[in-house]
Amino acid sequence: MGFKIAVLPGDGIGPEVVKEAVSVLQAVAPGFEYEEALIGGAAYDEVGHPLPAATLALCKRADAILLGAVGGPKWDHVQPVEMRPEVGALLPLRSELNLYANLRPARIFSALKEASPLKEPEIDLIVVRELTGGIYFGKPRERREGGDVAVDTCVYSKAEIRRIAIRGFEIARQRRKSLVSVDKANVLETSRLWREVVAEVAGDFPDVKLEFMLVDNCAMQLVRNPGAFDVILTENMFGDILSDEAAQITGSLGMLPSASLSDNKGLYEPAHGSAPDIAGQGIANPLATILSAAMMLKYSFGMDAEAATVEGAVEKTLADGVRTRDLGGEASTSEMGSAVVSRLYL
């Protein structure tokens, strides 16, 4: 196949879970080429920058990127702030690669329903989050810090909203044809523009049901009736918060994958963080990273059958009672990865 994957293990449990995801990819889709590079705190410690130029160059050359996790308390007080892993690696990587669409699916595997904090939960949704605009990406001249005042500016253009809206409607069309656009249009000008553009885009997708919802109401409805949602389309900060809420409903962050997409490239990573408290112990859950690799197969390479094979193997593994400690079991990281590989073609 000749596809090249940039492998960025990162910090904490990142190297452990990425190793298992690569093993699954090698088993289900042999022929990929892998090249590893430094990112995050590990890169800062070794070369003095959380996103080395060589790593960025590799990511630009690669067909897709598999990322473990970055950051941890060790680097929380690095100065300047731009050298901290989350700020100096993730944000510039998203910007440089134009990864404007973040996809965070949240579903409950039938074998794990008891792990949800909700009674008899039903959830199978995806949050489509705009990732390179909004309050996280205010230009330096629009952002002031110091003294008694701090300012973060939220800016969105019609073009930014239109492209993420199109992506959201396309995904809804492939699922259950229902999309909820989330904003704060009763207060924010950017949200009123958001609502206007989304309504325009909806005209090109008459087969998709569109509903507008304020973000505070959406947060409540996610807890009250998560099964009512199919696709949630929203801006950067709201998406950050709502996708974490949806993840918690499923019962474990260790199960949640994510994809960040441009028009021609994708970065795939688990939704959880670097978990330095359990790093190196071989007890981390690799399933979120393995499921992120399944998203890579689908969204970057159009290998829907192989993606479904990986997801099915995860389902079989859980149904057979294999659990890491976060799920109440005793399986190690490598044992869980091996269990998935052994069930790929059962």
User: Of 216, 277, 304, 320, which one is the catalytic site residue?
Assistant: 216
The CA dihedral of 325, 326, 328, 329, to the nearest 10 degrees, is: -30
Q: Which residues, 6+ apart, have CB-to-CB distance to 70 below 8 Å? A: 10, 11, 14, 39, 40, 41, 50, 85, 86, 89, 90, 274
Query: Is 184 among the residues known to form the active site?
Result: yes
DSSP string, 266-332: EEEEESS---TTTTTTT----HHHHHHHHHHHHHTT--HHHHHHHHHHHHHHHHTT---GGGT----
Q: Residue 229 corresponds to which amino acid? A: F
Query: Is 244 among the residues known to form the active site?
Result: yes
User: Of 19, 74, 113, 244, which one is the catalytic site residue?
Assistant: 244
User: Of 183, 184, 265, 298, which one is the catalytic site residue?
Assistant: 184
User: Of 74, 113, 124, 136, which one is the catalytic site residue?
Assistant: 136
Query: Is 277 among the residues known to form the active site?
Result: no
Q: Which helix or strand (DSSP H or E) is residue 183 part of?
A: strand 178-183
For 153, counting Cβ atoms within 10 Å of its Cβ (0-12 exposed, 13-18 middle, 19+ buried), the class is middle
User: Of 44, 240, 265, 298, which one is the catalytic site residue?
Assistant: 240
Query: Is 240 among the residues known to form the active site?
Result: yes
**Catalytic residue IDs:** 136, 184, 216, 240, 244
